[in-house]
Homo-oligomer: A and B are copies of this chain.
Amino acid sequence: MPKTIKKVGVLTSGGDSPGMNAAIRSVVRTCAYHNIECIGIYRGYQGMIEGDFKEMGPRSVNNIVNKGGTILKSARSVDFRTPEGRKKAHENLLKAGVDALVVIGGDGSFTGGLIFNAEFDFPVMGIPGTIDNDIYGTSFTLGYDTALNTVVDCIDKIRDTASSHNRLFFVEVMGRDAGHIALNAGIGAGAEEILIPEEDLGLDRLLDSLQKSKASGKSSSIVVIAEGDKIGKNVFELKDYVEANLPEYDVRVSVLGHMQRGGSPSCFDRVLASRLGVKAVESLIEGKSNYMVGVKEDKVILTPLEQAIKGKSEIDRELLRVSDIMST
C-alpha cells in the first residue's frame, strides 16, 4: 500500500517555456482539490538545496495561467550534481514535510529527479516543459505549440519585407538537437526549404531547391534552419556559400533567438499544462513514482522516467514529404 502523500513540492528546472506557470497552477490546485498541501521550490534543484520554499495555496496561483516564464524561476544547479548537494536537498524536503516531488523541465531535470529518487526512495513525477518537443513519451511538450506560433508570427513579418524586396531570407530557429520547431514552423510559415539536425539534405539540394524556386516564378523565399542543423555550416556561413554559388540571390539572415522561449502560452499549452498537472499529482497520490506524464494519441499517459530520458522523440517523417510538396 502506498505511503499517503500529504505535501507535494513542485519546481521548474532547465530552460523555461510557456505553460510552466499553467502547470504550476495545475499542480497547486490539484493538491488543494485533494486536500494535500503544496510548496513551491524556487530556482529548481538549487532552491531545493538552499531550502528556498514557499507554501502555495490555491489563491497563490491566481492569474498566472496566461503568463510566460515561471514564477518559481529556474536555474541550473552544479551543487545538485554532488551527493552532498542532494543530501542537503533531501534534508530540506524532510524538514518541510514534503513527501513527493513534481519536476517540470526537460531531460536533464528528469535525470536529476531519477538520481534523487534512487538515492532517497523519494517519489518523483515529471512534467515535460521545453519548447523543443524533444522528449520521448509525449507528442507535445509544454511550450512547444506556443513557440511554433511565435516563430510563424515572426516569419510572417519577415515575409512582408522579403516579398516587398524579392529577397531570400535565412531564418534560424531553436533546436540544437531536434528539428521539430524548424520542421513544423517551416511548413506553417511556407518555407522553401527546411534544415534540421535529424537529416543532412546536403548543400547541393539547397542550391538546387533555390534555383528551382526562382525558375518557378517565386520572387522571394524563406529558408528555416534549426540551430543544430547537420549541414555543417552556421547560418552566416550558409549565407556566404549560397551567395557565392547563386549570385542572383541577396541573402538576409535573421536569428530569432530567445524570444522563442517567452510569451503568453497558447490555449493548447494551457490546457495541456492543466491536464498534465492533474495527472502528475493524482499519480503520486496513487503511489506511483518515477514517471513522466505526457500526451500521446490524444490521451494523457505515463512513461517511465528512465525511458523518457533515454528514448528519442523522432520527427514525423511524413512532414518532410509534406514540406517538400508544399514548396512546389
| A residues adjacent to B (C-beta < 8 A) | 12, 15-16, 18, 20, 25-26, 29-30, 32-33, 58-59, 62-63, 65-70, 73-75, 139, 145, 148-152, 154, 156-166, 169, 184-185, 187-190, 216-218, 252-255, 257-264, 266-268, 270-271, 274-275, 278, 296-298, 300, 318-319, 321-322, 324-328
Complex CA distance for A302 and B106, rounded to whole angstroms: 35
Given contact pairs A161-B258, A187-B271, enumerate 6 new A-B contacts (beta carbons under 8 Å): A26-B326, A33-B324, A67-B160, A188-B268, A189-B270, A275-B318
Check B267–A69 contact: CB distance below 8 A: no
| 20 interchain pairs, CB-CB under 8 A | A16-B160, A29-B328, A33-B325, A63-B163, A65-B188, A65-B189, A69-B161, A69-B163, A74-B165, A75-B165, A150-B157, A157-B258, A157-B262, A158-B258, A158-B259, A160-B261, A189-B267, A271-B319, A274-B326, A297-B297
Contact of A159 among B63, B188, B271 (CB under 8 A): B63
Check B254–A257 contact: CB distance below 8 A: yes
Q: Which residues of B are found within 8 Å of A188, using beta-carbon distances? A: 65, 267-268, 270-271, 274
Check B30–A325 contact: CB distance below 8 A: yes
Complex CA distance for A157 and B300, rounded to whole angstroms: 29
Q: Which residues of B are found within 8 Å of A258, using beta-carbon distances? A: 157-158, 161-162, 169, 252, 254
Copies held by the complex: 4
Check B29–A267 contact: CB distance below 8 A: no
Check B75–A262 contact: CB distance below 8 A: no
Contact of A267 among B20, B75, B148, B257 (CB under 8 A): B148
Contact of A326 among B12, B29, B66, B166 (CB under 8 A): B29
Q: Name which of A166, A262, A319 has the most chain B CB atoms within 10 A of its CB.
A: A262
Check A275–B161 contact: CB distance below 8 A: no
Complex CA distance for A260 and B263, rounded to whole angstroms: 17
Q: What 3 pairs between A and B have smallest CB-CB spacing?
A: A157-B262, A160-B262, A297-B297
Q: Which residues of B are found within 8 Å of A260, using beta-carbon distances? A: 157
Q: Which residues of B are found within 8 Å of A33, using beta-carbon distances? A: 324-325, 328
Taking the nearest CB of chain B, how far is it from the CB of A24, in angstroms? 12
Q: Which residues of B are found within 8 Å of A267, using beta-carbon distances? A: 145, 148-149, 151-152, 184-185, 188-189
Check A160–B68 contact: CB distance below 8 A: yes
Taking the nearest CB of chain B, how far is it from the CB of A272, in angstroms? 10
Complex CA distance for A68 and B139, rounded to whole angstroms: 27
Complex CA distance for A94 and B308, rounded to whole angstroms: 55
CB-nearest residue of chain B to A257:
B254
Q: Which residues of B are found within 8 Å of A67, using beta-carbon distances? A: 160
Check B274–A187 contact: CB distance below 8 A: yes
Check B62–A158 contact: CB distance below 8 A: no
Taking the nearest CB of chain B, how far is it from the CB of A220, in angstroms? 9
Contact of A278 among B29, B152, B165, B325 (CB under 8 A): B325
CB-nearest residue of chain B to A167:
B258
